[in-house]
Amino acid sequence: MTTGALEWSVATAAMPGETESGDRHVFCQLSDGVLVAVIDGLGHGAEAAAAARVAAGVLEKHAGDPVTVLVERCHDSLRSTRGVALSLATISARAHLMTWTGVGNVEGVLRRGQPGLTDEKLLLRSGVVGSHLPPLQASVVAIDRDDLLVFTTDGVAQDVARSLPVRGTLQGIANGALARGNKGIDDALVLLVRYRGGES
């Protein structure tokens, strides 16, 4: 799917034996870019899915807020649930910047599209959104044409995100990553966002 200077795709699978996944994604268009998030409801099954739906609703309603404020809003709304792991980013197409933060174990990697540049990894903070929220701090990184943001839940092997190709069709890359990395013992989700901007 394509939105302005960005294109994105997602691949997801519920844990074998479950009818719904506790892993969920959010993609909201903003005035100058997007908010993108991946939510992993603790555990699996109906209760995990319910917690993830609550968090997604909060993010969609308040998508224009700063990322740390969004995490705090989710935390307040999730106190009666089992909680979630959450990683999220806002991408500004005009400023060529990405602001991101994460609590729990939803891995985030920015694969650089240009040769010779070093990939960025999201610094995750230990905690559970809805139960124990650590001090929050967002990081800001510059983005350039063909950079690829990868979010993966803990049902996906960690090395998958860091070895994905940056070229090719996004849905094909996402499907291939899920096929290779799905551990089969939890819900699994791979979300990809490619930045197609870069011109000032």
DSSP state of 129: B
Name the amino acid, one letter, at 57.
G
Mapping DSSP to helix (H, G, I), strand (E, B) and coil, where does residue 77 land?
Answer: helix
Alpha carbon distance 170, 125 (integer Å): 28
Torsion of CA 15, 17, 19, 22, to 10 degrees: -30
**pTM tops 0.75:** yes
Alpha carbon distance 28, 74 (integer Å): 16
pLDDT of amino acid 4: 67
Percentage above 90 pLDDT, the chain: 69
The answer to whether 27 and 59 have CB atoms below 8 angstroms apart is no
Residues 31-80 pLDDT 10s: 888 999 999 999 888 999 999 999 999 999 999 999 999 999 999 999 99
User: What is the CATH topology of the domain spanning 2-195?
Assistant: Phosphatase 2c; domain 1 (3.60.40)
DSSP state of 178: H
Domain ranges of the chain: 2-195
The answer to whether 51 and 82 have CB atoms below 8 angstroms apart is yes
Q: How confident is the model at residue 200 (pLDDT cuts 50, 70, 90)?
A: very low
Q: What is the mean pLDDT of residues 173-181?
A: 89
pLDDT of amino acid 31: 86
Number of C-beta neighbours around residue 72 at 10 A: 16
Alpha carbon distance 131, 67 (integer Å): 18
